[in-house]
Chains A and B, each alone.
Chain A
Amino acid sequence: MSQTLAAHGGHAVEAAADVERPPLGVSWQKLMMWTFIVSDGLLFAGLLVGYGFVRIASASWPNRQEVFHLPLIGFMTFLLISSSATMASAVAAAGRADRRATVRVLLLTILGGLAFLSMQAYEWTSLIQEGARLNANPWGVAAFGASFFVITGFHGSHVLSGVVILAITAWRMGAGKSTAGGVELAGLYWHFVDLVWVFIFTLFYLI
């Protein structure tokens, strides 16, 4: 009987180890973050495909050179790419257990995100002053306003959330409460925000 119990106990230990072993070679936390990124990415894919449908179905579409300030948009892209680079550096510094460098570079990343949001707010204000609304705009295609404000607004809210997440991560790292893994997870989210902008920048502002 004791042998049977031991055999069952051994099997239970093995089963527990199988449950604890993370799949695909990454930690559970990282896997869940990637799962969230894929689901959120599909959300943006739906919005962009919807915009694509509306645009192709429309007889005309506003000339982007008349509507957007492309140098401003280009600089916003530069800011987001640079903040992604500083975020990657923060993850590297956290991996080396250099808390001060991690916090310093996280703060730089936050600054980049805030600057991006300020410019986005300026762009929105400028278009609203010209008469752009969700259901109308001075360029003759009603769906343009809705597409612009919904897509850029959704992305902007993600940038804002990212800034909040990074601020909390920086504070926790400064207080010695965060791990390198935590910084890496925050980094994945921030890079995802940059990744989405790559698609919005091309499909909405350049094409």
Chain B
Amino acid sequence: MANTTQGTGYRRYWITWFFLLAVTMGMLLLEYVSWPQWILLAVLVLAMLVKASVISGYFMHLRFEKPALILIIGAGLLLTGAILFVLLALDASRVNQLSVR
């Protein structure tokens, strides 16, 4: 029974490893795909967030912690980063338009 538990633990990590590598390969292969820029951007950002979730969930065991801890860490990082980016991106676009004129 101990061996089964150990096997399950290692198996989970190697499945996670393989999944992360597969997603990384997919992201690199997008270099050779001629999709519209906004689709490529959306796919890359989505893949990035999926990888981040998998690493934090399975390697860092966050998935098995209490929901309150997950919420604090998720809100602390992702939400703050997203809010910062949205606020600054609007300003950056304005600066870009001013410099182009």
Instruction: List chain A positions with a Cβ less than 8 A from chain B.
Output: 24-26, 34, 37-38, 41-42, 45-46, 48-50, 52-59, 65, 70, 74, 77-78, 81-82, 84-85, 87-89, 92, 96, 187-188, 191-192, 194-195, 198-199, 201-203, 206-207
Binary flags per residue of B25-61, CB closer than 8 Å to A gives 1, else 0: 1011011000000000100110110011001101110
A201 to chain B minimum Cβ distance, whole angstroms, is 8
Interface size class of B (residues with CB under 8 A): 35 or more
Q: Which of B13, B56, B68, B81 contacts A24 (CB 8 A)?
A: B68
Per DSSP, chain A at the interface is helix
Q: Which of B52, B72, B89 contacts A195 (CB 8 A)?
A: B52
Known: A42-B77, A70-B31, A85-B13. 16 other contacts (CB 8 A): A38-B72, A41-B76, A42-B76, A53-B88, A56-B89, A74-B25, A78-B21, A81-B24, A85-B16, A96-B6, A194-B55, A198-B52, A198-B55, A202-B45, A202-B47, A206-B31
B11 to chain A minimum Cβ distance, whole angstroms, is 11
Identify 21 residue pairs between A and B in the complex whose beta-carbon atoms are under 8 Å apart, listed by A's number.
A24-B68, A38-B72, A42-B76, A45-B84, A48-B81, A53-B91, A53-B92, A55-B92, A70-B31, A78-B24, A84-B55, A84-B59, A92-B9, A92-B13, A187-B60, A202-B27, A202-B47, A203-B48, A206-B30, A206-B44, A207-B44
Task: Decide: B92 and A56 in contact? CB cutoff 8 A.
Answer: yes
Please, which residues of chain B bring their CB within 8 A of the CB of A65?
31
Complex Cα gap A187–B55 (Å) = 12
Task: Decide: A52 and B88 in contact? CB cutoff 8 A.
Answer: yes
Task: Decide: B52 and A81 in contact? CB cutoff 8 A.
Answer: no
Task: Decide: A24 and B69 in contact? CB cutoff 8 A.
Answer: yes
Complex Cα gap A201–B81 (Å) = 16
Task: Decide: B84 and A49 in contact? CB cutoff 8 A.
Answer: yes
Please, which residues of chain A bring their CB within 8 A of the CB of B10?
89, 92
Known: A45-B77, A59-B99, A85-B16. A206 touches B21 (CB 8 A): no
Task: Please indicate which of the listed interface residues A25, A59, A198, A201 has the most CB atoms of chain B within 10 Å of its own CB.
Answer: A198
Task: Decide: B66 and A24 in contact? CB cutoff 8 A.
Answer: yes
A184 to chain B minimum Cβ distance, whole angstroms, is 8
B31 and chain A: residue at smallest CB distance: A70
